[in-house]
Structure 1
Amino acid sequence: MSYDISIWSVNKTSFENEIFHQEGTKRQNDGLIFEGPNWQIMIGNPQEVMEEDIPEEVVGLLPGIKYFTEIILEPLGASKRAFQILKKISKILAQSSHGIIFDERGTISSPSSVKRLETIKVKDEPDYLQMTWWFMKDHTFIKDGFKAFLEFIESTLPEALPRRYGIYEPPQFKLAEKGKEHFIQFVSENLREGIVWYPSKPFTYIDIDIPPKIGATREGFRASYITMEFLEEVLNQPGWTTELKRFWLKASDQLQPFYGEMRKAKFSIGDTWWRGIPKKLGNAAIIGKPYIDLWPEFIKKAQKTDTGLYYIENIKQDYQDLHSIIEEVPEELIKPKTKKKHSRNWPFEGPFLKYK
């Protein structure tokens, strides 16, 4: 029998440390072996994994986990010295790869230098990015879908949960004291008033707006709308670019937007009044029906999500928009500059509800 350890990390584990070059170690095609008197430690090469392969106990502990490294000590009854070396090796590998150590007993640990989020010093004029979705779910979303959306946030980006919330500033309730159920009920009862939602860094602003009527109204076309703003500086920290990309795609599959995006906050087009696709795209865009049928050039260059949405992304540590990938939004789908006008090719009802 053996004692098994796995390292789940943002980067590939490395054998560059001098401990891996000392006498008693052997390189093999599938990794490295430490040999001692009557015991051996086998270290596999790092394997890239899909998000669904990450153990439930590990998900959410570090953003952007992409690699798995297996370490096996044989036999289970090896000497105390062998276990000391195993512990030292695991720590070195986790530190070099920004990873978490997960042993067969379910114990989870990480080096002190490996943190989910380093302190972000806010600049005088910080840069922000926004993830935004426009979708057609009505007020029943608050009862049926919002809880699932909130639980998804909690499991992947807990910093986005509300530290405090209310209908005015400073918000009067604390999530730690009231709990999720109270927050969901509060949102349901006060959605029309506007919710003040204080997240934690790197998130700075979150807004959810579900209009009383979805679709054509006498003033124009309204859709449900969620936006999440965060400090762009966080993309410089290990794993955050990958994690935010994953979150944006999974959240899109949950919300089923007809259009969603990620872009610099100062170029935000956000509100519930939908008039067409923005002429200037951000650094990620995702479309669902009816736009899937109206924008064939986008579909040609896009990737497909699990639920059949199409997306193009250029989410990197240095901000890049999509216009190097897809040149132009079709003129007939573009949102006009005039507020009371809508795109020439209008794929929904209305947009104006006629007076009877």
Structure 2
Amino acid sequence: MSYDLSVYAAGPLSFDDLVRLVRGTIGLDVDGSPSSDAQSLMVVRGARRAYCFTIDGPFGVEAEDVPEDVTASVIGAKAVYQVLVEGSEEASIPHAVKFARKLAKATGGALLDEQTDEVWPRAKGSRVARPREAARPTELVTVNFYTLMSELPEDLPGNYIALARKYLPEALPTRFGTYEPHQGKLDRDGDQAFTDMWSENPRSRLFFKCDYPIAWGAIPGPEYPSSVWHASLYLDGAALADPGWLDGLRRFFVAFALESNSFFASVEVLRNYEWVSRSYERLPGAEEEIWPIHVGEWKGFVPYPQSWTWFGPEQAGIVSPYLTGRREQHGEYLFHVLAEKPVDRDQLTALLPDPTRPWIPKELATPCTR
């Protein structure tokens, strides 16, 4: 019998730093003289140097394998340590828990008690610190998904919540409704209420507020009067400076584009905005999106390049000859990355082979201005 603790780390320690962390804890020491390539450390306690617990790892971990409750507390967990009290050493359990918390703090991570499923530290809203300034100039990042209404999955709101919990907890709809003030509250009403409100208002848009750095989002109902379903998120560009959060956004973008059967999706950076309190406002000269749909109909791609784009099988075949940058194939779908960290349209244009020419032929671009 053993007592198992898992520490998910955003920044794993070097072997020497791990040893120092153990020896810097009152009453604990490492048994013997382990080599730097050891994957396991035995920790002893007290003057008698009695066995206390074992540390295994760090072992690499994929975002898909990180428990949701851990993702809610940690941005970009890259590795996991196992802290194990082996045998019947119950007196050692408090020492193991105390050290595991210390290890979690040192690695910017979180501790999962495998016996109780409790996570430390517990999630408290956004994992991203809110800006202290009352108002701050920023770039606005827009995330858009486009799906044919005839191909819309049945439980899209439920899928959205599941993917947000897995990859990007800040995208969860904390408050939601079809008008202000929003009627629904996720932590009070539960996940099903979000789906129910969507299905009970089939011809309306369901708006929702999120935790910082995401201001708000919107998804149309399943019978919205349009041939193209269009979901959106709006977020503070300052969050993109965190590599772990950026990776979570990328994973969520790809996963939801697949789950929603999106034939097109995009991430775009707009300049000249101001972050105020829980949302954003336009400054003079603020850039606006050019949407590829007008009055519910697809009109063509935007006339300038976007940082991340997603193409269904038909669209990929049309634009593929003109794409530069990195490509990821997901079955028949194509995820195209022109800039790993989303940047504004002028910086993207400079990345094209010939910045004086449009990224796609003009006949493939939308004539709409909004």
Taking structure 2 as the reference length, the TM-score comes to: 0.73
One of 174, 181, 203 as aligned partner of 1:163: 174
CA distance in 2: counterparts of 1:40 and 1:317, whole angstroms: 48
Give the match for residue 126 of structure 1.
Answer: 138
In structure 1, stretches of 5+ residues that fail to align are 215-222, 341-356
Give the match for residue 195 of structure 2.
Answer: 184
Give the match for residue 58 of structure 2.
Answer: 46
> CA shift at 1:27, angstroms?
3.3
> CA shift at 1:175, angstroms?
4.2
Q: Secondary structure at the match of 2:335?
A: strand
Structure 1 residues 145 and 168 mapped into 2: Cα distance closer, same or farther (>3 Å)? closer
Give the match for residue 212 of structure 2.
Answer: 201
Give the match for residue 4 of structure 1.
Answer: 4
Percent identity of equivalent pairs:
19
Tell me if structure 1 keeps the 8 A contact 2:141–2:237: yes
Give per-residue Cα distances to partners, 1:232-269, cap 9 Å, x unaligned. 22334573112111111110110122221111144523
Give the match for residue 248 of structure 1.
Answer: 253
Question: Is 1:103 matched with 2:113?
Answer: yes
Q: Secondary structure at the match of 2:88?
A: coil
CA distance in 1: counterparts of 2:72 and 2:79, whole angstroms: 15
Mapping of residues 184-333 of structure 1, within 5 Å: 184-209=195-220, 211-214=224-227, 223-237=228-242, 239-265=244-270, 266-270=287-291, 272-273=293-294, 274-297=298-321, 298=323, 301-305=326-330, 307-313=331-337, 314-316=339-341, 327=353, 329-332=359-362
Give the match for residue 83 of structure 2.
Answer: 71
Structure 1 residues 46 and 276 mapped into 2: Cα distance closer, same or farther (>3 Å)? same
Give the match for residue 21 of structure 2.
Answer: 19
Structure 1 residues 336 and 292 mapped into 2: Cα distance closer, same or farther (>3 Å)? closer
One of 87, 97, 120 as aligned partner of 1:87: 97
Amino acid in structure 1 at the alignment position of 2:10: V
CA distance in 1: counterparts of 2:255 and 2:88, whole angstroms: 44
> CA shift at 1:229, angstroms?
0.9
Question: Is 1:153 matched with 2:164?
Answer: yes
Give per-residue Cα distances to partners, 1:32-71, cap 9 Å, x unaligned. 5244334264333422222333246545443432222223
Tell me if structure 2 keeps the 8 A contact 1:120–1:233: no
CA distance in 2: counterparts of 1:143 and 1:185, whole angstroms: 12
Amino acid in structure 2 at the alignment position of 1:254: E
Structure 1 residues 192 and 304 mapped into 2: Cα distance closer, same or farther (>3 Å)? same
> CA shift at 1:193, angstroms?
4.3
Tell me if structure 2 keeps the 8 A contact 1:204–1:230: yes
Amino acid in structure 1 at the alignment position of 2:266: E
Q: Secondary structure at the match of 1:295?
A: helix
> CA shift at 1:227, angstroms?
0.8
Structure 1 residues 115 and 287 mapped into 2: Cα distance closer, same or farther (>3 Å)? same
CA distance in 2: counterparts of 1:104 and 1:145, whole angstroms: 31
Give per-residue Cα distances to partners, 1:315-343, cap 9 Å, x unaligned. 43887965576646331564144559xxx
Aligned-CA RMSD value: 3.6
Amino acid in structure 1 at the alignment position of 2:195: I
Structure 1 residues 62 and 279 mapped into 2: Cα distance closer, same or farther (>3 Å)? same
Give the match for residue 335 of structure 1.
Answer: 365
Q: Secondary structure at the match of 1:127?
A: strand
Q: Secondary structure at the match of 2:313?
A: coil
Aligned residues between the structures: 328
Structure 1 residues 308 and 322 mapped into 2: Cα distance closer, same or farther (>3 Å)? farther
Tell me if structure 2 keeps the 8 A contact 1:131–1:229: yes
Question: Is 1:33 matched with 2:46?
Answer: no
In structure 2, stretches of 5+ residues that fail to align are 271-286
Amino acid in structure 1 at the alignment position of 2:289: S
Structure 1 residues 89 and 318 mapped into 2: Cα distance closer, same or farther (>3 Å)? farther
> CA shift at 1:180, angstroms?
4.0
CA distance in 2: counterparts of 1:110 and 1:252, whole angstroms: 32
- Higher strand fraction (1 or 2): 2
> CA shift at 1:212, angstroms?
2.1
CA distance in 1: counterparts of 2:123 and 2:315, whole angstroms: 46
Tell me if structure 1 keeps the 8 A contact 2:126–2:170: no
CA distance in 2: counterparts of 1:107 and 1:77, whole angstroms: 21
Tell me if structure 2 keeps the 8 A contact 1:99–1:114: no
Give per-residue Cα distances to partners, 1:197-237, cap 9 Å, x unaligned. 333322212122464241xxxxxxxx211111112223345
